[in-house]
Amino acid sequence: MIVLDKENRVFTLHTRRSTYQMKADSYGVLLHTYYGPRVDCGDLSCLLQYTDRSFSPNPNAAGDCRTYSLDVLPREYAASGGGDFRLPALEVEGPSGSHTASLRYSGAEVCRGKYGLEGLPAFFGGEDDADTLVVRLEDKALRLCVELYYGVFEEHDLITRAVRVVNRGGEAVRLHQAASLCLELPGGGWDFITFDGRHVMERCPSRAPLRPGVQSVGSVRGTSSHQHNPFVVLCEQDAGEEHGLCYGAMLLYSGNFEAAAERSQFETTRLVLGIHPYHFCWTLMPGEAFTAPETALVCSPDGLGPMSRRFHRAIRAHLLRDPWQGRCKPVLVNSWEAAYFDFDAERLVELARAAAPLGIGLFVLDDGWFGERDSDLAGLGDWTVNQRKLPGGLERLVPRIQALGMDFGLWVEPEMVNEDSALYRAHPDWVLAVPGRAPARGRCQLVLDFSRQEVRDHVYGALKAVLSSADISYVKWDMNRSLTDVWSAALPPEQQGEVYHRYVLGVYSMLEQLRRDFPHILIEGCSGGGGRFDGGMLYYTPQIWCSDNTDAVDRLRIQYGTSFCYPPCTMGAHVSAVPNEQTGRCAPLETRGAVALAGTFGYEMDLGKITPEERAVIAEQVETYKAHWALLREGDYYRLTDPFREGPYTAWAHVSPDRREALVELVTGSTHAALPFTNLRLRGLDPELRYRVNGGESWPGGVLMAAGYPIPLFSGDYQTLQLFLEAE
Residue 717 CA: distances (Å) to CA of 578, 621, 641, 642:
14, 20, 18, 18
Q: Is 534 assigned a catalytic role? A: yes
Pairing of strands 720-727, 690-693: antiparallel
Contact 161, 178 (CB under 8 A): no
Of 127, 614, 623, 688, the active-site residue reads: 614
Instruction: Report helix, strand or coil for 263.
Output: strand
Angle between helices 393-402 and 345-355 (to 10 degrees): 20
Instruction: Report helix, strand or coil for 630.
Output: helix
Alpha carbon distance, N-terminus to C-terminus of the chain: 38
DSSP state of 636: E
Q: What angle do CA 712, 714, 579 make, to 5 degrees?
A: 145
Beta bridge partners, 36, equal 19
CA distance 551 to 554: 5
Q: What angle do CA 643, 644, 650 make, to 5 degrees?
A: 10
Extract the runs of DSSP E, i.e. beta strands, from 276-399: 282-284, 289-300, 332-334, 362-365
φ, ψ for residue 631 (rounded to 5)? -65, -40
φ, ψ for residue 50 (rounded to 5)? -130, 140
Q: What is the CA radius of gyration of the chain?
A: 27
DSSP state of 677: P
Pairing of strands 690-693, 649-655: unpaired
Q: Is 614 assigned a catalytic role? A: yes
Residue 268 CA: distances (Å) to CA of 75, 188, 461:
11, 5, 52
Instruction: Report helix, strand or coil for 589.
Output: helix
Instruction: Report helix, strand or coil for 155.
Output: helix
694 dihedral zone (left: phi>0; alpha: psi -120 to 50; beta): left
**258, containing H or E segment:** strand 257-263
Q: Is the sign of the CA dihedral 559, 563, 566, 569 positive or negative?
A: positive
CA distance 331 to 620: 12
Residue 214 CA: distances (Å) to CA of 25, 35, 705:
28, 21, 40
**Nearest CA to 601 among 569, 627, 642?**
569
Sequence-separated (6 or more) residues with CB below 8 Å from residue 195? 202, 203, 204, 205, 206, 228, 229, 231, 232, 561, 562, 564, 565
**Nearest CA to 251 among 224, 290, 226, 284?**
224
Contact 16, 35 (CB under 8 A): no
Of 76, 534, 551, 665, the active-site residue reads: 534
Q: Is the sign of the CA dihedral 576, 577, 582, 587 positive or negative?
A: positive
CA distance 520 to 507: 20
CA distance 336 to 366: 6
CA distance 562 to 573: 12
Q: Which residues are catalytic?
A: 534, 614
